[in-house]
Structure 1
Amino acid sequence: MGDRLEVIEKKKQKGNSVKKQINDFSIFEEIWHAITHGFGLFISTFGFGVLFTLAVMSGDLQKIWTSVVFGLGLLTMYGASTLYHAIPHYRMKYFLQIFDHAAIYILIASTYTPVVVLGVQGLFGWVLLGTVWFLAVRFFTTLAFFY
C-alpha cells in the first residue's frame, strides 16, 4: 500500500491527471472486471437470499441478524467493485476506487460476524468481534478520508 501511495504522490508532483492516477487497466480489462464482479454480485444476492431464508426458517434471531450483516457486507463489496469497474467517468471512478478498496474491510468484518457470534460466543467472542469491527471502521474511514 505504501508503494502505491508513493507512486500516486510522484504522479501528482509530475502534474499527471486523475485519469493516470486511478489505474492502468485497459478497456477490455475494465469490462471483464465489471462482468466478473457483477457476476459475483449476482451470486452474492442469490446466496444472501438462500442464507437469509434458512436463517428465518430456523427461527434463531442470531442467525437472522448475522446472515443480514454477512449478506450486506458481500453486496457492499461486490456492488462497489462492480460500479468501480463499470463506470468510465474519471472523477467518479476516483471516488468509486476508494469505496471499492474500503469496502473490503467491511466484508472482512461482516464475515467475522456470524463466525464469532455463532461459533466463538462468550466474552472472548464479543471482544474479538468488537475489535474486528473497530478496525474495519477505522481502516474504512482512513481510506475514505485520507486516500
Structure 2
Amino acid sequence: MSVPTPPADLYRHSLRLLLAKDIAGWIDLWAEDGVMEFPFAPEGRPGRLEGREAIAAYMRPYPDHIDLHDFPGLRIHRTTDPETIVVEMRGVGRLLQTDKPFEMTYIAVVAVRDGRITSYRDYWNPLAVLQPGTDFTGSNR
C-alpha cells in the first residue's frame, strides 16, 4: 500500500509542473471532483470551477499567455487539518502578448485527499494585471 504524497510536497510538485508548462501533468494531480475557486475573480471571469475537466479547460491555455519563470518566496503553512495547507508565494515571468513582466502575489488554501488536490482557493488580485481589453492572462477579450 502506497502512502499518499503529503500536501506540501504535492504542492511543490505542482509548481514544478507549471514552470515546465506541463498542464496535463498538473491536471493529473487533481481529484476528479476537485474544485478551484477565485474569490476575487473580476466580472466576466469564473469564480468557481467544478471538476477536473472544467479546471483542465480553464488551465490549458495558461502557458500561451504567461511564461512563468519562478515562484520566489514560497511559504507553505500547515493547518490543524493535516490535509489542508495555506500557501504564500509570488509568481514571476512575462506576459506573452505584451512581453511585459508578470509578477503576482498569491495566497492559496489547498486541500488534498488521497494524494490529489480536492480544493484550491486562489486569492490573487486581478487588478494587478488587468488592463482595458485584457483578461488576467494578458489575452484580449
TM-score scaled by length of structure 2: 0.27
Instruction: Name which one, 1 or 2, has greater alpha-carbon Rg.
Output: 1
Whose strand proportion is higher, 1 or 2? 2
TM-score scaled by length of structure 1: 0.26
